Structure 1
């Protein structure tokens, strides 16, 4: 029955609709969480925003992102949009074009957390290296950054290069290493991007791991080459590629049932590190694969680093259900929503030509 349901869903969407859905899903998830971002006390979150947040919100005075309006994106969302602009205008990903756009943002920052819709440590490191120390981009990445900006941007690259895994891997590595030196972040960004690519292609979420294992050789060799590992013994193990399978198993295991899905991310941690955010997103995508609204709003209402979690969840479930499944209010309430829909459709169209 589950497989039949998937086939019925897939037949009603197109690859382009799913690619555009992935892009807009990531952006909508970011914006939906902006006003209610970083509430680690879930009771406080409920007191200030009600039992269930179901639309864009405005940050309270004194809280993060105060001054932004409902429907705006975070700094991570801005970086995502710069990448979309590069793909839209160039038709391909270009480090040079993307970096020029980010340099414009860096020029407006002051190196503090509070600057620029809140600047996390990795971007403060990049700012210091680029603006203060005048380093070239290839030497400006953060040494200890462990956030999820590059995972989110992998959604856009997956929408463009979903039919070409080696090229997708190369583009994700190239973009990720501009912000993060940690190769684990690069590897997990690749795995997440490949997951989104599979979903865009119409692979059932529960079967993503198996599908990727069919390409294990070329994936491993490409990753090894991009990370400068020439020996077979130096190629990373594919553990990051099997995360979706464990998430899917956790959802259906009767001994692991969680009554309220909004509490599930607490098992993994509510903080900002990718190893806390990513598994929560994988779980929510596995639990609500055919309902974009429920999946992304559950991520929003789960608190903590809900912005990254909702963006990653939105990227995956948007890739499953397609842009055509989105509630109209999510586009109308998003700042410049109609513009970004057209950009997403253009990138999806370019990706379909490959």
Structure 2
């Protein structure tokens, strides 16, 4: 039976929340022997953080602060039938910044990330306007909230790119981070439309670049061929200097399906691409797992989880990509039932899915 757009949208959102909560207990173990000592050699369910670890006062099945912010984003979208930056900033000021103090191990979820800490200090302590804030954090923190914008604007690439880039630059001002964040959103949107995360996905995205629906610079003609002779100015000049963030997923997806390229077991993708938090470690691993286990949510999320390091970001992003491919009905029920905010999160996902494809002018 075909998976509907609404089911894919809900799968992406719930998949992200599952990935977030699954990694809460076993977050940031860079020594895998220590992880094995605390949780065994293969983690299959929600875990409670150990004393002295990150999120130590949270319970198994809780959301981290990334999940808390993702909820704020979804509620803002629902309140405004789309992205309203002023409303989102107001929610951050009133519902997050009143609960944190700039210290890492504090606030909703038990930990506040680098970009949020820096913007908190700029907004609350330095009294800067939202137009003046931002950090150099090279992480996936913006993707973890803007994936909801990719869902909302899955059929509207220009609005997707504009809303995601604007929201990203509130907290992370690096252009490479911005381009990779928008690229992830564009890929997630393709999956919600029913496209596959395979070696052809970059060609589909580049067609959107050529028609100026995605703001990336491109100089080649179709299928990455050289510029056509005699063309006065073959380049498509966009917000981002290069389309490479749109191109890498196809190569990674091709590698995931190539029998001569083996990463076994699949969790070792974290060793291949790196355990740290930076976006250039996270995204290749997520794309690999989402392409390799495109119809198997459990395998994708558990291999992401058990890879150690920044497994929370890895699992949020992988959960969204695979959730979009399988749809909410094909996410194992035990993962949904284990969420402590199950009813609230399901309701948010369902409401957001009803807006997918709708114009702000509807």
State the TM-score, normalizing by the size of structure 1: 0.91
Provide the rounded CA distance (Å) in 1 between the counterparts of 2:289 and 2:170: 29
Q: After alignment, is 319-328 or 96-105 more displaced?
A: 96-105
- Tell me, yes or no, if the aligned pair for 2:216 and 2:236 is still in contact at 8 Å: no
CA-to-aligned-CA distance 1:225-254 (integer Å, 9 cap, x gap): xxxxx9838752211101211111211333
> Which of 143, 149, 154 in structure 2 is aligned with 1:162?
154
Provide the rounded CA distance (Å) in 2 between the counterparts of 1:153 and 1:164: 18
- The 5 Å alignment of 1:159-308 reads 159-206=151-198, 207-219=200-212, 222-223=215-216, 232=237, 236-308=241-313
Provide the rounded CA distance (Å) in 1 between the counterparts of 2:340 and 2:174: 33
Alpha-carbon offset, residue 89 of structure 1: 2.2
Gaps of 5+ in 2: 218-234
Provide the rounded CA distance (Å) in 1 between the counterparts of 2:334 and 2:102: 35
Alpha-carbon offset, residue 68 of structure 1: 0.7
Q: After alignment, is 250-259 or 33-42 more displaced?
A: 250-259
- Equivalent position of 1:71 in the other structure: 61
- Tell me, yes or no, if the aligned pair for 1:162 and 1:198 is still in contact at 8 Å: yes
1:351 aligns with 2:341: no
Provide the rounded CA distance (Å) in 2 between the counterparts of 1:42 and 1:250: 25
Note closer, same or farther for the CA distance 1:189–1:234 as it changes in structure 2 (3 Å cut): closer
- Equivalent position of 2:79 in the other structure: 89
- Equivalent position of 2:315 in the other structure: 310
- Tell me, yes or no, if the aligned pair for 1:209 and 1:242 is still in contact at 8 Å: yes
- Structure with the bigger percentage of helix: 1
Provide the rounded CA distance (Å) in 1 between the counterparts of 2:202 and 2:145: 21
Provide the rounded CA distance (Å) in 2 between the counterparts of 1:250 and 1:350: 35
Corresponding residue SS for 1:254 = coil
Corresponding residue SS for 2:260 = helix
Q: After alignment, is 64-73 or 106-115 more displaced?
A: 106-115
- Equivalent position of 2:120 in the other structure: 127
Corresponding residue SS for 1:177 = helix
Alpha-carbon offset, residue 210 of structure 1: 2.0
- Equivalent position of 2:145 in the other structure: 153
CA-to-aligned-CA distance 1:45-94 (integer Å, 9 cap, x gap): 12211121111111000001000111111112211111011112222111
Note closer, same or farther for the CA distance 1:233–1:327 as it changes in structure 2 (3 Å cut): closer
Alpha-carbon offset, residue 353 of structure 1: 3.5
Alpha-carbon offset, residue 153 of structure 1: 2.0
> Which of 85, 89, 100 in structure 1 is aligned with 2:90?
100
- Equivalent position of 1:6 in the other structure: none
Corresponding residue SS for 1:13 = coil
Provide the rounded CA distance (Å) in 1 between the counterparts of 2:72 and 2:151: 15
- Tell me, yes or no, if the aligned pair for 2:179 and 2:240 is still in contact at 8 Å: no
Corresponding residue SS for 2:117 = helix
CA-to-aligned-CA distance 1:190-245 (integer Å, 9 cap, x gap): 10000000000001111321211221223476357xxxxx9838752211101211
> Which of 321, 325, 350 in structure 2 is aligned with 1:320?
325
Provide the rounded CA distance (Å) in 2 between the counterparts of 1:335 and 1:51: 25
Provide the rounded CA distance (Å) in 2 between the counterparts of 1:280 and 1:231: 29
- Tell me, yes or no, if the aligned pair for 2:208 and 2:214 is still in contact at 8 Å: no
Provide the rounded CA distance (Å) in 1 between the counterparts of 2:282 and 2:333: 27
